[in-house]
Amino acid sequence: MWITCPTDNRIHAAVVVPGMKRSLTAAAVLSVALAGAVPADAAAIPGFPVPKIFGTAFQPDPGHDFTKRISSRKDGVLRGWITHVAPGQVEYEPIKWVKDKYSEGHFVGPADGDVAAYASPVAKNVVFLSALGCSATLAGFTVNKQGLGSKRCSRTALLTRAKKYQRPSLITVYRGEIVKLQEIYTP
């Protein structure tokens, strides 16, 4: 028997044991009900591997030619931040965590002169998960146990915030568009 997983839409093999037919039917009904609870746009984003949130090296992008015009990163999740908002697209770059002698550390982008920027349009139905709430106040910070944003905010809130300052984030690119941006909370 084959079962479709509601969270990743992958088909998995299931072992059927005599007497479990009712349980499998109930599980199938439950999975259909749960599938309806996931927003359609979030369900369409593939489950790309997530980099270490506080990784100390820039993520590689094999095959990307930075000597040509600025272009989108390949599909996947990049630890980075938006550096510029332009009509129709945003520019972003990878970041890494640097430990500090007097504090826990901070994120940094590539050194001056090191070209490692990307540009992509932001999807109309982008999933923006804020660490500071939609109004970006410290009184309203919203994070999960990993320190990642958990409050769903609008595309407009994302673009408005990106114009004001750089926020470390996990940026998901799919088919050349930014489809998800999840802020990383840093004190």
Name the region of 175 (left: φ>0; alpha: ψ -120 to 50; beta: rest). left
pLDDT reported for residue 80:
97
> Is the pLDDT score of 108 beyond 70?
yes
For residue 92, the enclosing domain spans 76-183
The helix (H) or strand (E) run that includes residue 106 is strand 106-108
Cα distances from 100 to residues 39, 97, 108, 185, in angstroms, run: 40, 9, 12, 17
List, for residues 60-95, the tens digit of each pLDDT value. Answer: 888 888 888 899 999 999 999 999 999 889 999 999
Asked whether residue 132 is domain-assigned, the answer is yes
**Cα dihedral: 91, 93, 97, 99 (round 10):** -90
Does residue 116 lie within any of the structural domains? yes
Residue position matching structure tokens 């090191």: 114
The total number of structural domains that make up the chain: 1
pLDDT, one tens digit per residue, over 118-131 is 999 999 999 999 99
Residue at 52 is within a domain? no
Structural domain contains residue 69: no
168 domain residue, yes or no: yes
pTM (2 d.p.): 0.75
For residue 62, is it within any domain? no
Tokens representing 104 are 């826990």
List of long-range contacts for 101-110, beta carbons under 8 Å, 24+ apart: 104/187, 105/54, 106/186, 107/81, 107/168, 107/184, 107/186, 109/80, 109/81, 109/83, 110/58
